[in-house]
Structure 1
Amino acid sequence: MSAKVHTYEEIAQHNSRSDLWIVIEGKVYDITKFLDEHPGGEEVLLDEGAKDATAAFEDVGHTDDARDLLVKYYIGEVDPNSKPIKVERPVEAIPDAPKGK
């Protein structure tokens, strides 16, 4: 069975705490269930959600264990004919400002 192919337009629709996809090295991952488990916190994942997070992933210097964990969340490949689109972080992902007294 071949891998499911996703366009960046489709990937951009999965940009919330309840439905979050990322792209790393051309592979698409549904990391929704990993948000609460991420050692670096969920905010960094939400910042990279629904877009190509390869540079951010590599900059951190993840361990082999972290790379192996990706297999669990793999859902397909990016359509090679698809072009990345600008994705804004959803309002629900931005923490509330502290409330005054």
Structure 2
Amino acid sequence: MDAEVRRLEDRIDAVNREGQLRLDAVMARIEGRFDTITQQNRHMESSIAAMSQDMKSIRSTIIVTALASVLAIAGVVYAGQALWAGGFSSGQSDRPAATQSSSP
């Protein structure tokens, strides 16, 4: 009977070892998947940070372009007014002076 108990205990130990090996293999695959997911999350976070930086850069470019456009338009309007006013003044000075004629 001791031999039979010993054989059963050995069989139980073998089944336990086999189960532990299977569990270890499954846990290694699960841990590998978690590592992959963690790496993907890090990559996504860095991509999001890069996109955020790019959006800030684009926003700054748009603001600077808008300001430059407004200043350019204001400069054109000012130059046009100055040119028109200068031409008007110049045209006035080129006219002959009006003289009074005496009527007999």
Question: Greater RCO between the two (CA within 8 Å, min separation 6)?
Answer: 1
Q: What TM-score does the superposition give when structure 1 sets the normalisation length? A: 0.18
| Structure number having the greater helix percentage | 2
| Structure number having the greater strand percentage | 1
Q: Mark the structure with the bigger radius of gyration.
A: 2
Q: What TM-score does the superposition give when structure 2 sets the normalisation length? A: 0.18
